[in-house]
Structure 1
Amino acid sequence: MSVPTPRYERAARRAQADGRIPALAVALHRADREPWVFAVGDSGNPAHPLGPDTRFRIGSVTKTFTAVLVMQARDEGLLDLDQPVSAHLDVPAHGDATIRRLLSHTAGFQREPYGDVWDTLITPDAGRMLAELDRAERVLPNARRYHYSNLGLAVLGQLVAKLRGGTWEELVAELVLGPLGLYRTTVARPDEAAVGYLVDAYSDAVRPEPPVDLAGVGPAAQLWSSAGDMAKWAAFLASPEIIDPGGRILAAATVDEMRWPLTTTDESLWAAGFGLGLILVPEGKRVTHVGHDGAMPGFLAGVYGRRGGDGNPGALGCAVLGSSGTAGETNELVHDLLRMAVESDPAEIAPWRPAPPAPAAYRSLLGRWWSEGMEFVFAWHDGRLQARAAEAPASRPPAVFEPLRGEADVLRTVSGREAGELLRLTRDDAGAVVRMHWATYRFTRLQEGFDGGLASDGPD
């Protein structure tokens, strides 16, 4: 990072001062720059002063790792997202909750496992947590609405552990942290850990919060990490094709599936949504921040990657970790820094370069077509057939097609408008495309009504 660094530092210093956060660590990761890491304050750990290697509790950001473990198992055929929990776990109650509903917090599970765990600071082990599901409430009907549940994600973590024949702790280290090189992310509290504090509301006094081992609830909030590791993780959630091009962790298409919003967290504001284990924060103009917040006694964390938007270099991720459990500035700063990164230091504009022409089989269909009275433009860019409504803004992604294997004149819409639908081509005797059907709607070169008459001819 070059010119904007003082701006980033000032924003971090302002958040630390305004939020009265004993230790604050921030990091930005992007595809076209060296990672930027900054820390301000005091770790509270004399043996390990605050620095790039300082670790913080990341709380519910842990859920994103558990969600990835679930999706890995799905991709390997070990489970189906629409299967009930009881297909894999012998539970005394609520076994009808599906894996997809638990990932999106729409299964209606109560927030925490049975018992007053935040009074005793003792959480059940995995066996007891599952055995006591009949003492936990289903506080809302299945699929009724969003209701955040640590219990739900903890159950999923133990489900994957049983499928794999190991522990959740072993799996997250072996299948995610190691392959992605997140070596400063651990299940156990490391020696380099900052002390988490409760900051007095009416003075500048601070009180260390007790460390809590979540035991069987670990898949919901157990991990510790550094700002640098978490910025890289956020970049992965935003751009897996850049961070993990070989798909060792997950195929990019699977991460894309996780980012699709399944519910909104507030029925009137629509300010945030949930996908499969991921929080989605719309920023306007087709920009979304994807990731998760985290909270544990004495700690707050915000870990998000930025999707879309002008100036985005790709693999743009940010992490803000703080050693106060009450400073909302921690969770606000992560979004501020992501915005600042593209405003103050946008990606370079890549020059346009000529490319090979479209394949001969598709050249006759390029250009303008009409359907339902509206005009569309079909074009060949980046080695693929694309289409968009003529009046669509440039920021709206086009529909993209891929040929259907074994059928020369049938293509599948793989992204954008009408994703999943077929495009069928009709040719004349010379082989030129003269008509198309997309999602069964007829496309013609002239503006026709549904009866086939030309709009220019007027009524019969």
Structure 2
Amino acid sequence: MTSSQEELLPATRRALLHRIAVAQAEGRAPSLVAAVVRGGRAVWHGARTSVDGHGPDETVQYRIGSITKTFTAVLVMRLRDEGLIDLGDPLEKHLPGTGAGEATIAQLLAHTAGLAAESPAPWWERTPGTLRPELGDVLGEQPLLHPVGRRHHYSNPGYTVLGALVEELRGAPWEAVLRGEILEPLGLHRTSTQPQSPYAGGWAVHPWADAMLPEPLEDLGRMASAGQLWSTTADLARFAVFLAAGDDRVLSAESVREMRTPAAPAEAADVLDGAAYGLGLQIQRRDGRLLVGHSGSLPGFLANLSLSVEDDVASVVLANCTSGPLLGAVGADLVRIVAEAEPRIPEPWRPLREVDAAVLELAGQWYWGTNAFGLRVTADGLLALAPLSGSGRRARFRSNGDGTWTGLEGYFAGELLQPVRRPAGVLSHLDLGSFVFTRQPYDPEAPVPGGVDPEGWRGIG
């Protein structure tokens, strides 16, 4: 039995509290707060120890570091959806003179633009942003370390460039655009570029002693769009809901889904770890579960947002220490605890509202060569192709309104599925990106590439 959407079971709540308690104690974090999201709302908040002598709650701000990049990516995707840019545009088209102009906007979003990981010294996270007033101060004399588009190399300056792109095309500061286009529409009233009370101070914990040192709280200046934001578990829980379902006031579900799709070639180590990167979102597989989101860190703070769309569960974890608890692992565990203890209840099966005889005729068993596939017509109006046994290429297809269908995922993403009929109108075969699918394996009545031996099937003798 699972709980209602309004609350989690007591055993689940205790397991969540135990996990963050262990993380705070073993990671020696001055404070650690967390939230879990399910069914489009926060269903649990937890906290350990104190901030300024008081137990922190979902309204206390922490710096969220590179989770800021996901917000910047949303602003860029809005520009794309409005037709102001194309993700394939070179940066030079919209922001000339950077020295990295051959990189595309998509490559900047996916950290494949070849840019350096950090700005030139001194280390930007612990020094005033006034030391880097211009974009050139962030990129340096040689912005490109790698060939453009060849490898995933995480780049903080890359997201500084994207923030500058937003400012250029909106004619307003990044902070103002962020507030007007994301924070206010989504109701993220406790997310800001500067700390607003109550907020946690950032601390370094001595690696060999239970002693602490305050970290400087620097204004990052030009680097703000890469890591400046402060937020709360309550606000990031609402942001997680948006990343799962979209919100037409900000970005459509389809565009958010595009952000969650891998867009960068993985390094060898990332392949082993099951990690990838989309458009402003980190993607990883933990314990067989696909998680999207982002981590963040700045001196004195750690942050993580993890989302399992399939399980309809997300987690947010924030701590005010430079290092210690591994929040990525904690966030993944919070998702796992809820997903396994209280599995998502599937939506009720419902039939199609209307049955199109021409579409229904496509359903059933098909063969690509000797490989058997099933083609189903689903209640959402899509076609779903999958092998009848074992692993193999599978995809869903969306109707184009003219009798043809376009693949939505996997090997057949973007490929055209076209039913082909004989002169008398009888369905002959399916043409899927030049692959011929027939009702019988190597049907001699269909135009099978290479033809079919006229003697037909035979035995050994």
Structure 2 residue 6 is the aligned partner of structure 1 residue 9: no
- Classify 1:117/1:416 alpha carbon distance in 2 versus 1 (closer, same or farther; 3 Å): closer
2:435 aligns with one of 441, 448, 456: 441
- Classify 1:23/1:258 alpha carbon distance in 2 versus 1 (closer, same or farther; 3 Å): same
Amino acid at match of 1:288: L
Partner of 2:163: 157
Structure 2 residue 50 is the aligned partner of structure 1 residue 50: no
Superposed, which structure 2 residues align to 1:343-422 within 5 Å?
A: 343-356=340-353, 358-382=355-379, 383-392=381-390, 399-405=395-401, 407=402, 409-422=403-416
TM-score (norm 2): 0.89
Superposed, which structure 2 residues align to 1:52-201 within 5 Å?
A: 52-118=58-124, 121-124=127-130, 128-130=134-136, 133-201=139-207
Partner of 1:283: 286
Give the Cα–Cα distance (whole angstroms) in 2 for the partners of residues 88 and 167 of structure 1. 16
2:417 aligns with one of 410, 420, 423: 423
TM superposition shift of 1:65: 0.3
User: Residue 412 of structure 2: SS of its match in structure 1?
Assistant: coil
Partner of 1:457: 457
Deviation track 1:129-158 (CA, whole Å, cap 9, x = no partner) reads 346645254222222322211111011111
- Classify 1:290/1:34 alpha carbon distance in 2 versus 1 (closer, same or farther; 3 Å): closer
Partner of 1:253: 254
TM superposition shift of 1:356: 4.7
- Classify 1:14/1:119 alpha carbon distance in 2 versus 1 (closer, same or farther; 3 Å): closer
Amino acid at match of 1:28: V
CA contact (8 A) 1:412 1:420 kept: yes
Give the Cα–Cα distance (whole angstroms) in 2 for the partners of residues 430 and 119 of structure 1. 71
Give the Cα–Cα distance (whole angstroms) in 1 for the partners of residues 40 and 135 of structure 2. 45
- Classify 1:415/1:148 alpha carbon distance in 2 versus 1 (closer, same or farther; 3 Å): closer
TM superposition shift of 1:261: 1.4
User: Residue 379 of structure 1: SS of its match in structure 2?
Assistant: strand
Structure 2 residue 28 is the aligned partner of structure 1 residue 30: no
TM superposition shift of 1:351: 4.0
- Classify 1:75/1:447 alpha carbon distance in 2 versus 1 (closer, same or farther; 3 Å): same
TM superposition shift of 1:418: 0.6
Identity score, percent: 34
Partner of 1:263: 264
Amino acid at match of 1:336: D
CA contact (8 A) 2:201 2:300 kept: yes
Give the Cα–Cα distance (whole angstroms) in 1 for the partners of residues 185 and 144 of structure 2. 37
CA contact (8 A) 2:431 2:437 kept: yes
The range that moved more, 178-187 or 66-75, is: 178-187
Which consecutive unaligned segments of at least 5 residues does structure 2 have? 1-6, 443-447
Give the Cα–Cα distance (whole angstroms) in 2 for the partners of residues 266 and 78 of structure 1. 32
CA contact (8 A) 1:233 1:317 kept: no
The range that moved more, 276-285 or 187-196, is: 276-285
Give the Cα–Cα distance (whole angstroms) in 2 for the partners of residues 15 and 51 of structure 1. 17
Give the Cα–Cα distance (whole angstroms) in 1 for the partners of residues 287 and 305 of structure 2. 19
TM superposition shift of 1:239: 3.2
Give the Cα–Cα distance (whole angstroms) in 1 for the partners of residues 126 and 38 of structure 2. 42
Partner of 2:445: none
User: Residue 294 of structure 2: SS of its match in structure 1?
Assistant: strand
- Classify 1:215/1:62 alpha carbon distance in 2 versus 1 (closer, same or farther; 3 Å): same
The range that moved more, 266-275 or 347-356, is: 347-356
- Classify 1:124/1:389 alpha carbon distance in 2 versus 1 (closer, same or farther; 3 Å): farther
Give the Cα–Cα distance (whole angstroms) in 2 for the partners of residues 455 and 170 of structure 1. 74
- Classify 1:456/1:318 alpha carbon distance in 2 versus 1 (closer, same or farther; 3 Å): farther
Give the Cα–Cα distance (whole angstroms) in 1 for the partners of residues 455 and 331 of structure 2. 53
Give the Cα–Cα distance (whole angstroms) in 2 for the partners of residues 266 and 239 of structure 1. 29
Structure 2 residue 14 is the aligned partner of structure 1 residue 20: no
Give the Cα–Cα distance (whole angstroms) in 2 for the partners of residues 404 and 300 of structure 1. 46
TM superposition shift of 1:415: 3.6
User: Residue 135 of structure 1: SS of its match in structure 2?
Assistant: coil
TM superposition shift of 1:341: 1.3
CA contact (8 A) 1:234 1:305 kept: yes
Deviation track 1:25-80 (CA, whole Å, cap 9, x = no partner) reads 1001111765211111111x35x652221110000000000011111101111112
TM-score (norm 1): 0.89
Deviation track 1:203-251 (CA, whole Å, cap 9, x = no partner) reads 11111111011011100000001112112322322333xxx2xx22112
Aligned residues: 443
TM superposition shift of 1:95: 2.1
Measured on the aligned residues, the alpha-carbon RMSD in Å equals: 2.5
